Structure 1
Amino acid sequence: MLTRRSFMAATAASGLAACMRPEPSPPLALPAGPAWPPLPAFYGAITTEPHPVPAVPEGIIHPDLWRQEVANPYPDDPPGSIVISPGTGFLYLLQSRDRALRYGAGSGAAAFSWSGSARVQFRRKWPVWKAPDSMIARRPEFAPYSVANGGMPGGPGNPLGARALYLFQNGQDTLYRIHGACEPKYLGKAVSSGCVRLLDQDVIDLHDRVRDGITVRVLPADPPPGFVGVY
């Protein structure tokens, strides 16, 4: 069962569906070291989508956060499922008992507000983003994208990015999303708002590999010292 902690109260007060990018915590300085190898080709620009996906800049993302096959650290979870570790900034797509695909992820306040198991109810390409009333009260400039106004169409600038996976539990929307639009400099870090963000190149890849109905397990994690969540 999902451990909600203060999830329901936070949902009512602030609307986790926002998954917003603004107001991030300052990015951490990367440790000095040898020059990194070039980014894999799959982080190049994507021109076959309805909207352009720009290339990821070189020299920003640590190689540990690149999409890569690794040993499966959760062999007791079923193949085909997803495990999210907000504390480490990784999302794992389990391929077999022995192997997994690991994606770097930015974790927002929603990612630290609950843990447990849910399921991917459905997936969307270039999803619509709808600003909750609580956010509009704080930031009136988002009023044109309210639920009543139909939200913001998918495309550049949409906080959900190129893809979104919508997580439900017992038929109820958890308001937790796995989605794109992660700014490369915040990959693997805690940011002040939102759910779990991947690079658009990675969320497109994940979307195409999974199916509706798979299990997603979110590991419990405490936010880093000084972290202030803003929904």
Structure 2
Amino acid sequence: MTDLITKPSRRSFLALTGSAALAACARAPEVDPDDPVTRYGFAPIEGYGPLVDGEYSLPPVPPQYLEWPNRRQLVFYEGERPAQTIEIDPYAKFLYYVLGDGTAWRYPIAVGRAGLALRGQTVIRQKKEWPGWQPTANMLRSQPEVYGPFARGVPGGLASPLGARALYLYRGGRDSYFRIHGTNDMKSIGNSGSAGCIRLFNHDIIDLYERVSIPTEVNIRTEADSLRLLGPTMSPRGVELPPTIVSPESIYGATEVGAEDPGV
């Protein structure tokens, strides 16, 4: 893998974790039309380096998780959604933030079982920094061995499965309980998992968070459209990973900082 910037073609990519994945904030970079890195190419590896967000610190994303196409990139947008909206391709494992000039910021994602059930149109009506998390009744019922130890919730902070930021998806004015969020499980990006919704590297959800206004429309690409737009070499992409089961002590012990967040 090199850091050479190449102009993309139009066909150019919640498992729980008990480790204290540290997180941080960087404002969305300005797009310089004369800079190939911000105009047509990957964010440099340095964009996934150590960052600080208040009392939290984010370690670098290991290089093995940033292999093409697992890095934030400005690309030609092959879809049909309007500017300042989001399109999610759960099959090719990409999220697009659409710009108004035929391009989009493309983020690699992981898609959990819940995320695969996401269909059609939703709207982001709420967003939070360092959100807390609590499993739903359906999660507790369907996978008690995974979610049971966390029934009382995980406070916002270092070990929250929602990572550094979360965008909350609504339908008809009601919370859909689907989320676009960060993750501490970096190896899941580009793959599917049994847990979670739509997950990004913490670095990427921080970047996306700064771009998103309230409300923002979100469209979920169909499997047929994913294959039509990206082709069989890109869609489907990734493998299904098993859930990572951790002890509640490792989660709650890691969230002393930020425990004042009441959670979700």
The one-letter amino acid paired with 2:15 is R
Aligned to 1:21: 15
TM-score scaled to structure 2, two decimals? 0.65
Structural mapping, 1:142-221, within 5 Å: 145-146=150-151, 149=152, 151-181=153-183, 183-221=185-223
- The runs of at least 4 consecutive aligned structure 1 residues that moved more than 3 Å come to 133-146, 221-230
Matched, 1:61 2:55: no
| Map 1:1-231 → 2, pairs under 5 A | 20-22=14-16, 40-74=45-79, 76-136=80-140, 138-139=143-144, 145-146=150-151, 149=152, 151-181=153-183, 183-221=185-223
Q: Quick check: 2:131–2:163 contact (8 Å CA) kept in 1?
A: yes
- C-alpha distance in 2 between matches for 1:93 and 1:65: 16
Structure 2: distance between partners of 1:216 and 1:209: 14
CA distance in 2, matches of 1:106, 1:191: 7
Query: Which TM-score applies when normalising by structure 1?
Result: 0.74
Q: Secondary structure of the equivalent of 1:185?
A: helix
Provide structure 2 residue ranges, at least 5 long, that are not aligned to the other structure. Answer: 1-13, 18-41, 225-235, 244-264
In 2, the alpha carbon distance for the partners of 1:124 and 1:225 equals: 28
**Contact 1:106-1:182 within 8 A present in 2 as well:** no
Aligned length: 194
Query: Partners in 1 of 2:112 and 2:196 — Cα distance?
Result: 5
Q: 1:208 to 1:67 in 2, by over 3 A?
A: same
Q: CA RMSD in A?
A: 2.9
**What letter matches 2:217 in structure 1?**
T
Change in 2 beyond 3 A, CA 1:227/1:204: closer
Taking the aligned partners of 2:154 and 2:72, their CA distance within structure 1 comes to 29
